[in-house]
Structure 1
Amino acid sequence: MSNLNKLEHALIVITHPDTQSLSHQIAQHISHDLTRKGVLVEIADLYKEGFQAAMKLSDIEAYRGRQALDADVQFEQARFDRADVVYFIFPVYWWSVPAFLKGWFERVFSQDWAYKYDEQGNLLGTLKNIPVKLIGTATGTQSGYDRHGYTQAIHKQIVEGIFAYCGIDGDCSKFCVST
């Protein structure tokens, strides 16, 4: 969906503990811009909301089909399901997303919701194919990230390794560095 005027609901997932950070400023700017255009914006501030990013035994038991997903995971999945576009805004730590966001992916993008396997063992990504925007705040420049392969590494890890795996077209995602 390239035309933002057709959007009805946006989800902004922000992963930064400091509410005065550049990441939060960017999230607020995007939120105000989308709201002005008539888009309903939901902000998932993972630190403020106290999301438990570490995998728990209950997550493993749900993966094994022995119990239902925890309520917090189901809540995050419902947020994602409502969205027509999702923004992930985060500081770049060690050339990737912070562990907090990685933990969100690990817990929320669960089997049978984000992906499954058919009878022949073939992977089927089951998430709806919506635009996903990665906005990483970091020192340096976009050209520096490109030159050293960091942009490509994040693209490979997150865009292909998570989003495409779960059915979201990797071409609809873009990682950009905001310094």
Structure 2
Amino acid sequence: MNTLVVYCHPYEGSFCHAILQHLELGAKNAGKQLDVIDLYKDNFNPVMSGRDLLGFVKHQAVDDQAIEYADKLKKADHLILVFPIWWELMPAMMKGFIDKVIFPGQTYEYTKSGLGMISSLPNLKSTTVITTMNTPKLLYKFRYGNAVKKALINGTLKKGGFKHVKWRSFNMVKMVSDKKRGSWLNSVEDIVD
């Protein structure tokens, strides 16, 4: 199984980084390798330029790094996105990855009506989104509108034809015990099939 991890956090002391390390440990224990895209280490430029937008209209990506990332995505059986939720949304770096990599002519095509999307990722069998936040789960859902589920899970991934999309949200990370965080980290090791 070819698993691609898109990791988005600038600080190696973060809980997101610990999640990445445990994904790598789970893969090692299972005798598998992960292909990791580290958006910050790669100095990925998340900004959509006028040239990028023209490419979007023409269904021809122009950002070499985004094209390279899309090529990795085309080879993957399982995609794992790892990022924090800041101010109830994904970081700009992850949003830029979505904008510039999940791209017409690259990872999907439109249906004839133009209202639907058809995936161009035939190898991709499953997607797992792993997020961290300090907001309680119910507050995030009912007070703040569950933005990641509505915009990313439903409005991007499922709409774009990504299969078997699951979301693992680790809430109140700073407030829970070390024991709880440890059990969360152990649980992510099993995500890499």
Asked if TM exceeds 0.5, the reply is yes
Question: Which deviates more from structure 2 when the two are superposed, residues 52-61 or residues 156-165?
Answer: 52-61
Deviations 1:118-168 (A, max 9, x none): 333342221435321111111143344345355x33111111111012111
Q: Secondary structure at the match of 2:58?
A: coil
Partners of 1:127 and 1:12 in 2: CA distance: 19
**Aligned-pair CA distance for 1:18:** 0.8
Greater relative CO (CA pairs within 8 A, separation 6+): 2
Pick closer, same or farther for the CA change 1:108–1:142 going to 2, 3 Å.
same
Answer yes or no: is the 8 Å Cα contact 1:133–1:173 preserved in 2: yes
Q: CA distance change for structure 1 residues 67 and 166 in 2, over 3 Å: closer, same or farther?
A: closer
Change (3 A) 1:61 1:140: closer
Are the counterparts in 1 of residues 83 and 90 from structure 2 also a CA contact under 8 Å?
A: yes
1:130–1:172 contact (8 Å) kept in structure 2: no
Mapped partners of 1:161, 1:92: distance in 2: 17
Question: How well do the aligned residues superpose, as a CA RMSD in angstroms?
Answer: 2.1
Amino acid at match of 1:160: N
Q: State the 4+ residue runs in structure 1 displaced beyond 6 angstroms.
A: none
Confirm or deny that 1:133 pairs with 2:128: yes
Aligned partners of 2:99, 2:169: CA distance in 1, in Å? 22
Matched, 1:158 2:152: yes
Whole-angstrom CA distance in 1 between matches of 2:59 and 2:151 = 29
- Distance in 2 between the 1:121 and 1:54 partners? 25
- TM-score normalised per structure 1: 0.84
- The answer as to whether partners of 2:88 and 2:140 remain within 8 angstroms in 1 is no
Gaps in structure 1 of 5+ consecutive residues: 1-7
TM-score normalized by the length of structure 2: 0.78
Provide closer, same or farther for how the CA distance between residues 82 and 47 of structure 1 changes in structure 2, counting only shifts above 3 A. Answer: same
Q: Does 1:48 align with 2:48?
A: no
CA distance in 1, matches of 2:144, 2:125: 26
Identity of aligned residues (%): 24
- Number of residues of Structure 1 aligned to a counterpart in Structure 2: 170
Partner SS state of residue 100, structure 1: helix
Once residues 12 and 102 of structure 2 are traced to their aligned partners in structure 1, the CA distance between those partners, rounded to angstroms, is: 26
Listed as ranges, the gaps of 5+ residues in structure 2 are 174-193
Q: Which residue of 1 aligns with 2:63?
A: 70
Choose the corresponding residue for 1:167, options 142, 161, 164: 161
What is the one-letter code of the residue matched to 1:148?
R
